[in-house]
Structure 1
Amino acid sequence: MKIKILVAMITLGALCSFSNYESIPTGYSVIKQTKPSEGEALIKKEDCATCHKIDKKVVGPSYLDIAKKYPMNDKNIKYLSDKIIKGGSGVWGAIPMSAHTGLKKDEAKKIAIYILSLKK
């Protein structure tokens, strides 16, 4: 019986080695599905440049500062996309960020992915 189990395990291992399966690290499911350039295009359509620049603090933090503060993962993408839509204050100072309620959730996620992709 033990020999049959051992042979089955070796056979299964050998068959798995021929597959093209690539594991995706946890926390990156949304990231792999979106191109950062889509988020950049959405930012250009919106009023984001009024308060944010890539490398300089204006009214709000620079995109690079945001990317440094939040690692690229699904939790932070969801948090930032919610913040983009709902607005808020207190994280980067007393000046509130205006809400962008006209954005869809997937659009806000694309913007968040673009911003987080700027981390160097």
Structure 2
Amino acid sequence: MKITKPLNLGLAALAGIAFACGGGSEQSSETSETVATTPEPAQEISLEEKYQDDPIYIKGLEKIKASDCQSCHMVERKIVGPSYAEVAAKYETTEENIDMLAQKVINGGVGNWGEVPMPAHPGLSEEDAKDMVRYVLLLKE
């Protein structure tokens, strides 16, 4: 009698655990049917993946990687300065904006994105700065 009571309790506990882990066959078949008919959500593609084959993207990214831009900026997240996506959202891709932003990259500035100044890059050619700006403006979300 002493052995059967703990044995019954053990079997009851084991059955409860098995049921809680999906031991009920009817419930699991209903779940699998629901999963099979539910459409999969669209996968989000990062801005980098979206533009990786674009020649403007490739040329601009190459020049940005060769510079010190990445110490203050990231594609989709603010560090010290705004993210490239924030800059792209603020400015339209026009030749006027490309010229203006390229001059800001070369000459530096403060006040458009807060109190932290953007250092000047006087050694950067205007054409390289424009290629970098075209890359940044391409990254609209």
Same fold (TM over 0.5): yes
Higher helix share: 2
2:61 pairs with 1:53: no
1:36 offset after TM fit, Å? 2.7
- Give the letter for the 1:89 counterpart: V
| Aligned positions, number | 87
* Separation in 2, partners of 1:53, 1:108: 17
1:67 offset after TM fit, Å? 0.1
RMSD (CA atoms): 1.0
**Dislocated runs of 4+, deviation >3 Å:** none
TM-score by length of 1: 0.70
Larger RCO (alpha carbons 8 Å, 6+ apart) = 1
Aligned residue runs from structure 1 range 12-51, under 5 A = 35-51=56-72
CA deviation profile, 1:35-84 (whole Å, cap 9, x unmatched)? 23111100000000100000111000000000000010101100110000
- Alignment match, 2:12: none
* Separation in 1, partners of 2:107, 2:96: 16
- Alignment match, 1:115: 136
Instruction: Give unpaired runs (5+ residues) of structure 1.
Output: 1-33
- Give the letter for the 1:97 counterpart: M
1:117 offset after TM fit, Å? 0.5
- Give the letter for the 1:73 counterpart: T
Give 1 or 2 for the bigger CA radius of gyration: 2
CA deviation profile, 1:1-59 (whole Å, cap 9, x unmatched)? xxxxxxxxxxxxxxxxxxxxxxxxxxxxxxxxx72311110000000010000011100
* Separation in 1, partners of 2:80, 2:56: 27
Instruction: Give unpaired runs (5+ residues) of structure 2.
Output: 1-54
Q: For 1:88, which of 98, 109, 113 is the aligned residue?
A: 109
